[in-house]
């Protein structure tokens, strides 16, 4: 699929100075298309989208990612970090002002906006998504910069290599109390908004290599366990032997864009599968009179059919074990 890459600058009262941004859009009209907001990593810029252009075009071409506008705004590392502070509200800018700018310029659908980021961008994407989960069509984070400590004084050298030490300090602000650090913690924000995140059905994607030089897998694993304990649906990929850069720097975003693409497509089952699912629902509603419909174990209707056939056993299981109603079980370690 052919595409158009555009660059622009603008000003916004939320943040200082000129903000550069890039936009990648399919040829033709963009009105009504979904928007993917790409959050770049530390020491990077909106030019990240240029590097991802061949990947995105390939995903458009094979249908993994439906036609969409992808946009990225340049934010600073030190003094940015997708944090809100006096005079530089970068989290609010990326969450509100930037999507609104792209909607005005390209006519994108405000009801279908997804967040995707790697490293520091993954941290920003998750933090923004968990604050207002109903606003987003999906959030995907690759090797997100998550600091696995409840307070800044509990941070370990293992998790504060290089720019991550700056992130910890800026999350804490002036250090006069734990509230600012907690407010900027993805884990804290998830727990504070757990009911809203769960009820929204927000599609959440996490991926990290287990040999990440910055030990990003520590915070990603911690977030995965929290999502599990809170019974919040998500997809989690821990990649054996993968590091922060190298092949994973392409494979991770490819998987993330694929996840977002599936969320944006929604229910795209063929008509035959929809009809078979309706037949199973009708058979169940009629009191299971007569023979059940065709059972396609490997098709999209397989899980529905199996659950209907096991309905009595499932109900008995839930009667005997209240935790059976959860998506994820309680696991003792």
Structure tokens, 52: 């991802």
Domain extent, residue 113, equals 3-265
Residues 326 and 170: their CA atoms lie apart, in Å, by 37
pLDDT at 80: 85
pLDDT at 78: 75
Are the C-beta atoms of 152 and 175 separated by less than 8 Å? Answer: yes
pLDDT at 174: 64
Angle at 55 between CA 248 and CA 40, to 5 degrees: 65
171-193 per-residue burial string, b: 16 or more CB within 10 A, e: under 16: bbbeeeeeebbbebbbbbbbeeb
In this structure, the answer to whether residues 223 and 285 fall within a common structural domain is no
Nearest to 166 by CA among 183, 143, 148, 147: 147
pLDDT at 34: 98
Structure tokens, 211: 């040999």
Tell me which residues of the chain have a pLDDT lower than 70. 174-178, 333
182 Cβ contact partners less than 8 Å away, ≥ 6 residues apart: 150, 151, 188
Q: Which pTM does this prediction carry?
A: 0.95
332 domain residue, yes or no: no
In this structure, the answer to whether residues 189 and 86 fall within a common structural domain is yes
SS3 165: helix
Nearest to 107 by CA among 35, 209, 189: 35
pLDDT at 175: 58
Q: What is the DSSP letter of 78?
A: T
In this structure, the answer to whether residues 312 and 255 fall within a common structural domain is no
pLDDT at 179: 86
69 domain residue, yes or no: yes
In this structure, the answer to whether residues 197 and 54 fall within a common structural domain is yes
Domain end (from 221, 245, 265):
265
In this structure, the answer to whether residues 275 and 218 fall within a common structural domain is no
Are the C-beta atoms of 316 and 325 separated by less than 8 Å? Answer: no
Residues 244 and 52: their CA atoms lie apart, in Å, by 16
pLDDT at 178: 67
Residues 146 and 182: their CA atoms lie apart, in Å, by 12
**pLDDT, tens only, 53-98:** 999 999 999 999 999 999 999 999 877 899 998 889 999 999 999 9
């Amino acid at each position: 699929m052919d595409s158009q890459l555009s660059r622009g600058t603008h000003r916004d009262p939320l943040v200082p100075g000129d903000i550069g941004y890039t936009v990648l859009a399919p040829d033709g009209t963009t009105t009504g298309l979904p928007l993917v907001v790409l959050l770049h990593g530390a020491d990077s810029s909106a030019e990240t989208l240029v590097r991802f252009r061949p990947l995105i075009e390939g995903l458009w071409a094979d249908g993994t990612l439906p036609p969409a506008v992808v946009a990225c705004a340049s934010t600073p590392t030190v003094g940015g970090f997708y944090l809100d502070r006096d005079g530089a509200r970068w989290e609010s800018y990326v969450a509100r002002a930037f999507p609104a700018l792209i909607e005005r310029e390209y006519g994108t659908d405000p009801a279908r906006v997804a967040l995707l980021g790697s490293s520091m961008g993954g941290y920003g994407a998750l933090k923004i998504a968990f604050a207002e989960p109903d606003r987003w069509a999906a959030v995907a984070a690759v090797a997100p910069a998550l600091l696995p400590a409840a307070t800044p004084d509990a941070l370990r050298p293992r998790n504060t290599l290089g720019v991550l030490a700056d992130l910890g300090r800026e999350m804490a602000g002036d250090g006069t109390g734990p509230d600012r650090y907690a407010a900027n913690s993805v884990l804290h924000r998830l727990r504070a908004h757990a009911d809203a995140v769960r009820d929204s059905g927000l599609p959440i994607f996490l991926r990290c290599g287990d040999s990440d030089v910055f030990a990003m897998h520590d915070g990603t694993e911690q977030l995965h366990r929290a999502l599990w304990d809170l019974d919040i649906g998500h997809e989690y990929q821990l990649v054996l032997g993968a590091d922060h850069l190298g092949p994973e720097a392409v494979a991770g975003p490819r998987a993330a864009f694929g996840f977002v693409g599936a969320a944006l497509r929604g229910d795209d089952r063929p008509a035959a599968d929809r009809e078979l699912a309706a037949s199973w629902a009708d058979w169940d509603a009629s009191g299971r009179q007569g023979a059940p419909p065709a059972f396609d174990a490997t098709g999209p209707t397989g899980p529905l059919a199996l659950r209907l056939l096991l309905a009595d056993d499932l109900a008995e299981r839930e009667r005997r074990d209240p935790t059976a109603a959860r998506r994820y079980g309680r696991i003792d370690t």
